[in-house]
Amino acid sequence: MAHIRVIHDPVGETLTVYWAEPRADQVCEETGEGVILIKDARTQEVIGFERLYYRPEPGSQAITLETSSVTA
């Protein structure tokens, strides 16, 4: 079963999402519009992303995560 790690930093206003384990040797690549790709330094595989300037809707208390699976 795949695990997704979601980290919200309200002070730094970031939302970070990993779908693979964070690596000690990961690198980041800014794509623009406040989105940063997090990659494995050796394989260049994208293992997550970070959204800068993230602020939830006023009054919201939680981050809702919706998942679905596609079968071929």
Average pLDDT over the chain, rounded to whole?
88
pLDDT value of position 39 = 97
Q: What is the pTM of this model?
A: 0.79
- How many domains would you assign to the chain? 1
Percent of the chain surpassing pLDDT 70: 82
| Higher-scoring residue by pLDDT: 20, 69 | 20
C-beta separation of 13 from 55 below 8 A: yes
pLDDT value of position 59 = 77
User: Which structural domain range is residue 10 located in?
Assistant: 1-72
Other Cβ atoms less than 10 A from the Cβ of 39: the count is 19
